[in-house]
Structure 1
Amino acid sequence: MTDVPDRVHRAFRDHASFEKVDETTYESVKSPFEGTVEVSSGEAGKTAYDVTVRVPMLDEVTNDEVADVVEEGWYETFELRVVDVGGVTAVERDLDPEVSEDGRHATVSMSFEDINERRGVDDAGALVDFVEGTYAQGVIPGYDYTEPVSSMLSQAYQAGGSDPVE
C-alpha cells in the first residue's frame, strides 16, 4: 500500500464531489457515472491521481434497439471528443486519456501528478465532469432513454428553460 499524505485525504474530504472508498480510492458522488480517483505518492513530493470514469454504451441507456453501426459511430465520436481534454484543468497538464470499450461500457482513464493537493483534487473532479459533459454532448436524439441519461436530459432542459421534445 502506498502512503498518501493526510493533506490529500483532507482535500478530498473537503471537496463536495468525492467520498472515500478506502485508503487510496475516492469515488465521485456528483456524476451519474462511475468515477473514481486512485491516489498514490508521486515523484518529488507530488501526489499521483489516476482518474477513471466508466460510462454506459448507448444501447445500455435506451429502451430502443441501437444498430451496431450507430453504436460504433457513437463510440468512435465519444473517443475522439474525450481525448481532447485540453484546458479543463487549473494548470496545463500533459494528459493522455486512454479510452477502452469493456463489454457494455466505455472506460476513460487519465493520470497526472500535482504538488498542490487541493488543485489536484479540483482537477480530478473537473476531469470526471468533462467526461460526463462529453458523454451528454454525444447523446443521439430520437431514442427513448433510461437512467441516468433521461435525468441528465431533463436537467439540461430545465436549466435551459425549455420542455423536453417528445
Structure 2
Amino acid sequence: MTEVPDAVTDVFDARETFVPSANGYVVETTSFEGHVTASEGEAWRTDYEVTVRAPTLQAATADDVGPAVREGWLDTLDRRLEDAPKATRVAVDLDEYTVEADDEEVVVTYRFSLGGEREAADVAKTFVEYVEGTYVEGIVPGYDYVGVVADLMNSASTGGSEGSRGGTPL
C-alpha cells in the first residue's frame, strides 16, 4: 500500500473529522462510511481518493423495491453526486468519479489531485458529507426505511434517533 505523505498526515491528524486507518483516514462526521487515501502525485500535488459506502435503496428498506425504482433511484443519485466539486470552496477537477452498486451497497469514489493539504482535507470532508446529504434528499417516499437511513431520516425530521421510520425527512 502507498504511504500517506507526511504533509497530508500532519493536516489530517490535526483535524477531529479524520481518524487514521490502515491506509488513510476515516471520516467520522457522517453516518455513511467515508474513507480518504492520499499518495504522492505529480510535482507539488498529492493524489486523493475519497470513497463513500452507503446502502442501496433496497438494502435501506424493509419493503421490496421494484427494478424500475431501484434503477431510476441509482441513476438519479449518480447524476446528482457528480456535482460534488461545486460544493467545495476551491476549484476541484475530478480525475475520476464512479458510482457502483451491488445488492447491498453503493460505492461512490472521487479521485482528484491538489497541492494544498488543508484544502484537500476540506474537499474530502465536503465530498463525504455531500454524498450523505444528497442520498437523504433522494429518499423515495412510501417505503419503510430501516437502519442508518431510518436514523438519518429521523434526525432530519425530529433531531432524534429511533432506527425505523417511513416517509420522507421533510
Q: Deviations over 1:53-100 (max 9, x none)?
A: 111111101111111211111111111111122422221111242112
Q: Which residue of 2 aligns with 1:127?
A: 127
Q: Which residue of 2 aligns with 1:118?
A: 118
Higher mean C-alpha deviation, range 59-68 or range 100-109: 100-109
Return the letter of the residue paired with 1:53. Answer: V
The two structures have a TM-score, normalised by structure 1, of 0.88
For 1:158 and 1:123, how far apart are their aligned partners in 2?
Answer: 29
Identity %: 38
Q: Which has the higher contact order (CA 8 A, sep 6+)?
A: 1
1:27 is displaced (CA, Å) by 1.1
1:40 is displaced (CA, Å) by 0.4
Paired residue total? 161
Q: Which residue of 2 aligns with 1:39?
A: 38
For 2:166 and 2:47, how far apart are their aligned partners in 1?
Answer: 43
1:16 is displaced (CA, Å) by 2.2
How large is the Cα RMSD of the aligned pairs?
A: 1.9
Q: Unpaired runs of 5+ in structure 2?
A: 160-164
Higher mean C-alpha deviation, range 2-11 or range 37-46: 2-11
Higher mean C-alpha deviation, range 103-112 or range 1-10: 1-10
Q: Unpaired runs of 5+ in structure 1?
A: none
Q: Which residue of 2 aligns with 1:67?
A: 66
The two structures have a TM-score, normalised by structure 2, of 0.86
For 1:15 and 1:140, how far apart are their aligned partners in 2?
Answer: 34
